[in-house]
Each structure stands twice: as structure tokens, then as C-alpha cells.
Amino acid sequence: MATPDTLRSLHRNTPVAIIMKQPHPRPLLVTAGEPGGIGPDLCIQLAQQQQSHPWVVVSDPELLQQRASILGLPVQIHRVEQQTHIESHQAGHLYVLPVSLHAPARCGKLNPDNAPFVLETLDIAIAACQQGHYAGIVTAPLHKGIINEAGIPFTGHTEYLAQKTNTSQVVMMLATEGLRVALVTTHLPLSQVSQAITPSLLSSVVDILNHDLQTRLGIEQPNILVCGLNPHAGEGGHMGREEIEIIEPVLERKRVEGMKLFGPLPADTLFTPRHLQNADAVLAMYHDQGLPVLKHMGFGNAVNVTLGLPIIRTSVDHGTALHLAGTGKADIGSLQYAMHYAVQMIQAGQVNA
């Protein structure tokens, strides 16, 4: 088993790699997402490679076989039960937990009739992980708009997973090599952000971020940089008072509890090498405050992680890319990184169990 010294010696922006290995690791579940998008393509492309950790796709086997034929990629599909044992993932094989489409799927075309199918794959994956059959979920992209068009209220994977696991508060974090960015608010109009940032919300987000950096990623005492909400972090109250009245008081209380929190800092200078070199994560106040920087650094090689859940969940950092579906041009880099990150979280969790 890795010692605390071993964990501390690892690069602080890389998920912890553990020597300990289970003889028969539980597989990861991959939800293929929007059937008209690149999610099925990515699963077929990834199946061309041998993987050390076993994984299973939750999707329609016929959809995957059809997409493999369109891509001209050989794959042998194996239907599995909800509880299955797979020692490793051999190239050219794809293990599928079957769910039937509600309507035929065409590359690059959205169909609201398949919105319930997409959510059913998520429901099955969540239940299977909660029952202990699988080690975590990796999600390929879905299309929020078409789900809403089908008459189903839906704001995103993150919120849906929280609801289905009865988790009162989750935190959305994106990561790439050298940078992690977590969010206080996620999919909100900018006009609603200030009102949404309450002391209670900020306190809860800080607690979850600090806790999961320790238990899910093996960082013993995380250094967290916190963005201000306003330009220049409020300029001493001249450009807004949220920093003075909400953010700083919460951070001070958490520092007294022993957390290493720095800020609130101006977001326009926080994302510079001088500040980031010793940071384990950045906490941004809203979606487009921190994510443009991260995606500039690592788009296509980044991962979306939902913290605070009772299960591990990672995802790609991109959308459905309908125009690339069935072309063979979809880049599997983000899905590979999402799976790698999930495996590292599984291994770090074994050390912290």
C-alpha cells in the first residue's frame, strides 16, 4: 500500500497512481450519450485499443454495431448482464449492457423520441454503481436541448446525477494536465449568478471540493485558489461587495477549520503560472469564469468530474459534435482521459478506504 510520503511525492496536479491492485477490478460503465452524436463512435474507436481496466458500454448493441459498420471498424459485441466479470478489455471487443433505442438513430440527426433512451442509460448506470456492481460512470456527451424538446426538464448530467442519487449538493470540476477548475455555480444565466452565491452554497462547495480532493484524488492538504466574483475581486468594494460580504467571510471560517484557501483573487491574474504552480485546484464563481482558461489549456484532453456524489463520475469535456458522427474524425482523447481519471480516482479511493 502506498504510504503518505509516496502520495506527497506525486505531482500535485496528477491523479494519484496507486500500486495496490484488485485481482478482479469492477468494470467502469460508459454511457454512450446522444445516439445521433459522436458518443457511439467514441466507444467503437476506444474498443480498438486494449485497456488495462475493464469497461462496459450502456447502449443499444444494434446501434453500436451499425455505427461500427459505418466507421469501417471491426468490433465483436458481447452483451452482458448488470452484474458481470471482465478481467481486461481486449482490442476489438466491446462489452455492452443493452438498452433498446426508442426510434432509429441516424448520424448527425437529433430525435426527441430517443430522449427517454438517453436518460434510461443514465438511470441504469447509476443504479448499477449504487448496487456495487461497477466502479464508476464515464459519460459520453448528450444533447440537453433535444431532451428538453422532448418535454423532459433537464439542465445537465451533473444536476441529473445529483437528483438520482439524492445528493443535495454536488460540485462540477474540470481537469487537464496542470490545472483543475471547480465551479460554485454551473448552468445559470449570468444575471442570476450573484444572487445564487450565498454563504451556505459557497461553504458547501468548498467543503465538497476540499474533501474530494483528499479522498478521491489522494491530496493530503489541498491548496485551493478562490476567484472573486467581480473584476479585480471587487476592488475593495468599489466594483461590487460580494467578496467583502460573502466570499471572504466564508473563506476565513474555513481557514480556521484548517483548509488552505487563498483568495478571493482577481480571476484575470489568478490564472497565471506564478499563482498556479502550487495550486491543487481553482474555485471559480461561475461557468465561464474558469472553464475558458482550462479548455484553452487542454481541450480534447480534459475531463469533467462530478464531486460530492456517492459514486465516481467523469465525462468528456466536449459536446455531441453532430457534424462528426459517422465520419471517423471524432477525437477520442477526452474519453480516454476521462476513463484514465476515473481509474485513478478508483485507486486513490482504495488507499483512503
Name residue 211's amino acid. Answer: H
Distance, CA of 350 to CA of 126 (rounded, Å): 20
Q: Among 28, 37, 42, 140, which Cα is nearest to 80's?
A: 28
Residue 331 burial (CB < 10 Å; 0-12/13-18/19+)? middle
pLDDT attached to residue 16: 39
What's the CATH number for 1-167+309-353? 3.40.718.10
Q: What is the pLDDT of residue 8?
A: 32
pTM of the shown model:
0.87
Domain positions in the chain are 1-167+309-353, 169-297
Can you give the pLDDT at residue 7? 30
**Going by C-beta distance under 8 Å and a sequence separation of 6 or more, which residues neighbour residue 1?**
19, 20, 351
Q: Evaluate whether 1-167+309-353 and 169-297 have a shared fold.
A: yes
**Is 89 exposed, middle or buried (CB count within 10 Å of its CB: 0-12, 13-18, 19+)?**
buried
Starting at the edge strand found earlier in the chain, the sheet holding 28-31 runs: 76-79, 93-98, 55-59, 28-31, 136-139, 313-315, 303-307, 171-176, 179-183, 281-284, 223-227, 260-265
Q: Which pLDDT does position 298 carry in this prediction? A: 86
**pLDDT digits (tens), the chain, 353 positions:** 233 333 333 334 444 333 334 456 899 999 999 999 999 999 999 999 998 899 999 999 999 999 999 999 999 999 998 777 777 678 999 999 999 999 999 999 999 999 999 999 999 999 999 999 999 999 999 999 999 999 999 988 989 999 999 999 999 999 999 999 999 999 899 999 999 999 999 999 999 999 999 999 999 999 999 999 999 999 999 999 999 999 999 999 999 999 999 999 999 999 999 999 999 999 999 999 999 999 999 887 899 999 999 999 999 989 999 999 999 999 999 999 999 999 999 988 765 54
- Of the candidates 115, 235, 222, the one whose C-alpha atom is nearest the C-alpha of residue 171 is 222
Domain 169-297 grouped into CATH 1.20.1050.10: no
pLDDT of residue 351: 53
Q: Which own/partner pairs from 301-304 qualify as long-range (CB within 8 Å, at least 24 positions apart)?
A: 301/176, 301/177, 301/333, 301/334, 301/337, 302/174, 302/175, 302/176, 302/334, 302/337, 303/174, 303/175, 303/176, 303/334, 303/337, 303/338, 303/341, 304/157, 304/172, 304/173, 304/174, 304/338
